[in-house]
Amino acid sequence: MSAPLADGFGRVHRALRLSVTDRCNLRCRYCMPAEGLPWCAPGELLTDDEAVRLVGLFARLGAGRVRVTGGEPLVRPGVAGLVGRISAVPGVCEVSMTTNGVLLAPLADDLARAGLARLNVSLDSLDPDRFARVTRRRDLDRVLAGIDAALAHPGLRPLKVNAVLLRGIGEADVLPLAEMARRRPVVMRFVEAMPLDADRAWRPADVVRGAEVRAMIDARWPLIPLGRERPSDTATRWRFADRPGGALEFVSSVSEPFCATCDRLRITPDGRLRTCLFSDEETDLAGPMRAGAADAELERIVRAAVLGKPAGHAIGAGRRVERPMSRIGG
């Protein structure tokens, strides 16, 4: 058994975010400009074989909870097959995915058969016009169809729905989205807007804070706190007092940071290791791998990078990530 993959602050890393593409079929205002971004060239992206090799390396080091992300992961050709290969890697205990849901309906069956265990689907509004205002696309019906298709698979549980609320746009969506968790077997997650945008200056005043959202919901339907499922979880969980189901989660990275228990690492679509979502420090893994590095050498590089992981994200201290979210793998 390898030594734990620990950083200089004693945090042991057990979760890996694997970004399989930087491309996306939406243009969400908090993520990228309307015209899109300069995408990675095809040769820059990790191949399936390279991605599986890196997943195997991290799994042997104890990071066996793998989340497939993007960009939008479902735009990558053959992504269900890649999920199947990752699921079969020794040491991988769970494979999940974050998706915007636009392409989910026709792929849900294949993903479930491939071994996908959990899904997070992004949905910022149930109102077609506000959805289009945030995403710059009129794809709400396709996202809702994707959620329906995922709910048809009992193995894809829990199904979590992520909403990023932008000040001046998203407040009206709080109660309709919370009510979705009362009507359907989903966990509704409210995620604070973070400084990861590509074309607008992030301001703390733009953040609809988790405590504010909770207060709005609690005034309509009283809530009971349940804490975090795991100490390292990004979200605090709550439930409605008048029913046992209907869970809500709040990911308050800005107002209630959870850096002290973070156990997540990220591999970008071009094969770079990022130890913190909000740091521009990256370690190239694709280059050494393509130059013939053995796994022992890759492990040495990974351990050195993880050891230097910062203590916290320093949001609000003037730090702004240079690479946009689609290049990172949230």
pLDDT tens per residue across span 141-190: 999 999 999 999 988 989 999 999 989 999 999 999 999 999 999 999 99
Question: Count of CB atoms within 10 A of residue 107's CB?
Answer: 19
With tokens 């077997």, the residue in question is: 185
pLDDT band at 258, cuts 50/70/90? Answer: confident
For residues 245 and 76, which has the higher predicted lDDT (pLDDT)? Answer: 76
Q: 65 and 93 in contact (C-beta within 8 Å)?
A: yes
Chain-centre distance for alpha carbon 214? 21
Determine the average pLDDT of the residues in 280-290: 95
What pLDDT shows up at residue 317?
Answer: 46
Question: Count of CB atoms within 10 A of residue 122's CB?
Answer: 23
Q: 165 and 213 in contact (C-beta within 8 Å)?
A: yes
Would the pLDDT of 315 be above 90?
no
Q: Average pLDDT of the chain?
A: 91
Cα radius of gyration rounded to whole Å, the chain: 19
- Domain segments of the chain: what residues? 15-327
User: Is the pTM of the predicted complex or chain greater than 0.85?
Assistant: yes
| E-strand stretches of 90-233 | 94-99, 118-122, 159-164, 186-191, 223-227
Helix (H, G, I), strand (E, B) or coil at 298: helix
What pLDDT shows up at residue 233?
Answer: 86
Among the ranges given (10-19, 78-87, 310-319), the one the predictor scored with the smallest mean pLDDT: 310-319
User: For 15-327, CATH number?
Assistant: 3.20.20.70
Whole-angstrom distance, CA of residue 24 vs CA of residue 249: 25
Summarised one tens digit per residue, pLDDT across range 184-233 is 999 999 998 877 654 456 677 778 999 999 999 999 999 999 988 888 88
